Amino acid sequence: MRKQNLLKKATMLVLAGAMMIGGTLTAHAATGQWKQNATGWWWERLGGGYPTNTWVWIDGNNDGKAECYYFNSDGYMLANTTTPDGCTVNADGAWTENGVVQTHGTNSNLDDVALAGDTNVNAASGVVTDGKSWPQITFDETLSRACEINGLSLLTNLTPAEPAYPGQDHFGPAYSIPSRGKTITLTTAPDYNQVVSYFGPVSAFFDNFPEQGIELNAFYDNTGYENPAWRRQPAATTGNSDTVFNLPQGSYRMGYGRVGKNVIFQILLTAGNDGKWYIYPDSPMNTN
């Protein structure tokens, strides 16, 4: 038992050391969610698969703290027992020492995290799944041109506003503007009289966006707004996106897109229970 505990503590030291240099590592967080059947609980990772015969640090409720769980050869979490390596897990499956649940701050290089939002949503009735069957969705031309030098003058009804997220006003003051019944927050570069970034719901930016929502690939088929770097691949955490969307690192996926030379955008995606990704009128969107 002593040897096993020492091994467990040594493992934790290795993890802690890795976390200290986490800023220099490529993020390897596995996003997932808890699932249960008559046999027990398991941790299902996004895209399929689950851990077996191993310990995994998991932040299952996005509170910034990860607990450690052991999964058997069939992938089920052990609970209220002693694990094969001699450690104790409580009724919730969390590793404990002297009755105290062991935790550490979530680190996306090492820990699994729960996908933000509801990962079991059913597609809304009538959601667009064939992009060619819907009138072409287009990004607002005036909003795009306002991102050019001296383009800010094209926008009217600007109202001074607080930035939508910390740092949005890095280059200049923030404003709000009404658009399609919604509100967009934008930040400016006064020296160039242009918009630097926008933040708001998807439907505020696009003409003909379906109120019932649209599947991600259908969106690209319809618009052609693929980003050359990401194509259609949903992206995870990228730098300041955690701050932009106010979500835990690694707990979400974004759809990237590009409109001409002026606008690169990120849309917060919703995971469907069919394994596909969806965009809805109120899905948060950021441009830069």
Regarding whether 105 and 144 lie in a shared domain, the answer is no
- The domain in which residue 138 lies consists of 131-287
pLDDT tens per residue across span 77-110: 999 999 999 999 999 999 999 999 998 876 555 5
123 in a structural domain: no
121 in a structural domain: no
pLDDT at 112: 66
125 in a structural domain: no
Regarding whether 101 and 48 lie in a shared domain, the answer is yes
Low-confidence ranges of the chain (pLDDT < 50): 1-29, 118-120
End position of a domain, from candidates 83, 114, 145: 114
The mean pLDDT value of the chain amounts to 83
164 in a structural domain: yes
Domain tally for the chain?
2
217 in a structural domain: yes
Q: pTM for this one? A: 0.66
265 in a structural domain: yes
126 in a structural domain: no
Regarding whether 221 and 161 lie in a shared domain, the answer is yes
pLDDT at 36: 92
Regarding whether 273 and 210 lie in a shared domain, the answer is yes
Specify whether the CB–CB gap between 168 and 204 falls below 8 A.
Answer: no
